[in-house]
Amino acid sequence: DLAYTGPLSFMHLRCAKCLEDAPHTFDIAFLGFPFDTTTSYRPGARFGPQSIRLGSPNRGYTLAWDSSPFDFGARIMDCGDARCLVTAHGAEAPDQ
C-alpha cells in the first residue's frame, strides 16, 4: 500500500471504534489519546496520534528484532482516538 492512500490508520491496519462498537477480537490495539490541556507553554500534543499514524506506513520491519510485528500472527488493529473531555469528572473519565 502507498502511504498516502486509504483511510488514516496506524500502519494501514483495520480500523474500528473498539471502545464503542461491538466487541472486536484483537491481540494488540493502538489507541490514540489526543490531549494537551496540561501543557504549559508548547501545546500540540493533541496532534501526536495523528502524526504517528501519518508516519507509521513507512515502518514495518524492526532491525532490533530482525522481523516485522506481523510475522508473529498477532491480530492487530487501530482503535482510533479516545474521547478526551476536559469537563468530565475524574470518576467518569475511565468510562469515556
Residue 21: inside a domain, yes or no?
Answer: yes
**Residue 58 confidence (pLDDT):** 65
Question: For the chain, how many structural domains are there in total?
Answer: 1
Residue 44: inside a domain, yes or no?
Answer: yes
Range of the domain at 90: 10-95
The pLDDT of residue 64 is above 80: no
User: Do 26 and 76 meet the contact criterion of CB atoms below 8 Å apart?
Assistant: yes
Residue 70: inside a domain, yes or no?
Answer: yes
Per-residue pLDDT band at 59 (split at 50, 70, 90): low
How does pLDDT run across 10-19, given as a tens digit for each residue? 777 777 777 6
Residue 86: inside a domain, yes or no?
Answer: yes
The rounded distance, in Å, linking the Cα atoms of 7 and 71 is 23
